[in-house]
Amino acid sequence: MTIETVGREMHALVERLYPLCRSITGDGVRRTLEIVGESVPLQIREVPTGTEVLDWTVPREWNIRDAYIKDASGARVVDFAESNLHVVGYSVPVSATMSLAELRGHLHTLPDQPDLIPYRTSYYAETWGFCLRESTLAGLPEGDYEVRIDSTLADGHLTYGEHVVPGRVSDEVLVSCHVCHPSLANDNLAGIAVATRLARRLAESDPWYTYRFLFMPGTIGAITWLARNQERVGRVKHGLVLACAGDSGALTYKRSRRGDAEIDRVVRHVLRTSGRDHEIVDFSPYGYDERQFCSPGFDMPVGSLTRTPYAGYPEYHTSADNPDFVSPEAMTDTLETCWEITQVLERNHRYLNLSPYGEPQLGRRGLYGSLGGRSDTKQAQMAMLWVLNLSDGEHSLLDIAERSDLPFATVADAAQALRGAGLVKEKGK
């Protein structure tokens, strides 16, 4: 399958998921996970309303069927069927007639972006509201309006999905993305598409690590997973939270709380040596679910990978974050970056030099000759010398790549060639 085909398939998944009305609970989440499950099998978890999860409680489940505002002629001037962003998430049921003056207190617009619909939620306060274009509001005459939100807020469940790619060891790499936003293509659907494709690719690679993919609502989903998996947290050696994965901006990596975890070093190395435009920022306790994984009691080695970060682009949390805003090319670049990160994690072993007294003769072992024809022959030879010198059982291949300022793949290939010649042996992670 070509890289172009992969990009088109990811974009098609975004387009398919886009119309669904998602929230932190409800049937929209279930349908989203059902569609993802067509590509990668998911274990679906249902956690009942009222379950205590750390300092939180699983909320009541919200579902919505229809919503509108009708003018005096009966025309829908705001229609949930046009865009599910029109309704404030978790709005309680409403059926009333009221004046425009009364209604205004429940209307949300973006005066600086008059042709866009904002995204608003009210998860933990029982209220209701509509989001609409400022241009639409400006055109509404005074008078009475019929207001209806056909929703339910009742005991139910919080739903999330897990997909595990088994590895040769039980140590885990965690990849998480959120599934709680309605029609927002970059913030969150592109992350779902990239994670799904990454899981499929890893399943074909016989990985060293076990990879655990989490598809769950933001904040309360991560808190619920952590509460239910406290005994598993110690297995997680590396982790990434994926979001905003499909816009045209440069890649941004937010370090884990530790700041110097292996995942932080790996992502920095991959981005630097790839030549991609990028930015690396320090951890802060605000953002996506990295702030839950990196809360001080857990302090997991989990960073966040985005393109343009949250709130960093004008389309963020508006109706302009639609499938046209994300591209197959950008999602493919994010996917390839994730793949390169996993391959460094997979190959980052420590080696022991079996001929440490003086430099062994590489020529008679055919090692120089084996590199003939490579465009980076000199670089590959230097990598062999660096691997031999620093393979003392203490330095990892990433240590060697960073110190030598050589690409990790070149260093790893050199280690493999030296191992084949009996000059080094693998000592472990």
- Binding site for Zn(2+), residues? 181, 187, 317
Element (H, E) at 274: helix 262-274
Binding residues: 181, 187, 317
- Rounded to 5 degrees, what are φ and ψ at 273? -80, -15
- Rounded to 5 degrees, what are φ and ψ at 210? -90, 130
> What tokens does 191 get?
């992350």
- Return the number of other C-beta atoms located less than 10 Å from residue 304's C-beta: 28
Rounded Cα distance between 194 and 338, Å, is 9
Rounded Cα distance between 138 and 386, Å, is 68
Buried b or exposed e, range 208-234, using 16+ CB within 10 angstroms: bbbbbbbbbbbbbbbbbbbbeeeeebe
Rounded Cα distance between 86 and 106, Å, is 12
Closest CA to 408 of 342, 334, 361: 342
